[in-house]
Structure 1
Amino acid sequence: MEPQQPTFIRRRLNSFGYALKGITAAFRSEINLRWHVLSAGAAVTAGFYFGLTTLEWVIVIFCIGLVWMAELFNTALEVVVNLVSPERHPLAGKAKDIAAGAVLIASITAALAGLLVFLPYVWDLLQKYS
């Protein structure tokens, strides 16, 4: 008797499970991802405190996703490079540096967007208490 193939729904659920497994593995192994999660928590907390508009929430959520996505891609690339090139190699180092640069660009973009969103609220708060 042939083993039964998983259903369409079971395959989709398995896909989500694999993705969550990957995110969890990256969170456990990558200190930078933990910092990004902490920063995202601070941004969300500040967003609730200041009562962001829908558009401002979209910007903040998009930036959080951008940075997390870049960090996860960077982590995946580092793992693959380490697998195929366990010894030091200039091209392996270059690939890792480029991926890290992508994370840096995403982080700077998110920080600048965060400044544009939150600075007026912080300014108003400072004016209120001065």
Structure 2
Amino acid sequence: MFKVFRSIGYAVEGIWYGVSTQRNMKIHLTVAPIVLILGAIVSLKWVEWCIIILVIAAVMSLELVNTAIEALVDIESPQYQPLAKIAKDVAAGAVLLMAIGSVCIGSIIIVPKLWELLF
């Protein structure tokens, strides 16, 4: 059981590293509570909550994976290497695609309800 808690501790350290060093992770952590508050205001259904929470977790998880890939590439290729650039750019692109997808999903779920509430 101690190993499980130690593993969780390592994971929390990784999340903290991402939060404390990555600008985009800070942006995600700023936007997520706003989305959650809007979800509460418009009274999302449980399925909608599941989708929103899953999308938020996916964006943040991909951001952490991107950070890990960047760190590994920096270890392996301290000097500029075209393939290292590709690895970093592709990882960043994955985060960007998920972030764009999350904005689309959030807009589809929340905006009509918010519009109805306001007008």
Q: TM-score if structure 1 supplies the norm length?
A: 0.89
Q: Hey, what's the Cα distance between the residues in 2 that align with 1:28 and 1:123?
A: 35
**What SS is found at the alignment partner of 1:63?**
helix
Q: Which residue of 2 aligns with 1:51?
A: 43
**What RMSD over aligned residues (CA atoms) do the two structures have, in Å?**
0.7
Q: Structure 1: state its 5+ residue gaps.
A: 1-8
Q: Structure 2: state its 5+ residue gaps.
A: none
What is the identity, as a one-letter code, of the residue corresponding to 2:33? G
More RCO (CA 8 Å, sep 6+): 2
Query: What is the CA distance between 1:124 and its match in structure 2?
Result: 0.7
CA-to-aligned-CA distance 1:52-104 (integer Å, 9 cap, x gap): 11011011001001100110000000000001101111110000000000001
Q: Hey, what's the Cα distance between the residues in 2 that align with 1:23 and 1:70?
A: 12
Q: Which residue of 2 aligns with 1:80?
A: 72
Determine what percentage of the aligned residue pairs are the same residue. Answer: 37
Q: Hey, what's the Cα distance between the residues in 1 that align with 2:69 and 2:48?
A: 32
Q: Which residue of 1 aligns with 2:57?
A: 65
Q: Hey, what's the Cα distance between the residues in 1 that align with 2:114 and 2:40?
A: 13
Q: 1:97 aligns with which of 61, 84, 89?
A: 89
Q: Which residue of 2 aligns with 1:10?
A: 2
Q: Hey, what's the Cα distance between the residues in 2 that align with 1:89 and 1:99?
A: 16
**What SS is found at the alignment partner of 1:106?**
helix
Structure of larger gyration radius: 1
Q: TM-score if structure 2 supplies the norm length?
A: 0.97
Query: What is the CA distance between 1:116 and its match in structure 2?
Result: 0.7
Q: How many residues align?
A: 119
Query: What is the CA distance between 1:126 and its match in structure 2?
Result: 2.9
Contact 2:56/2:102 (<8 A) preserved? yes
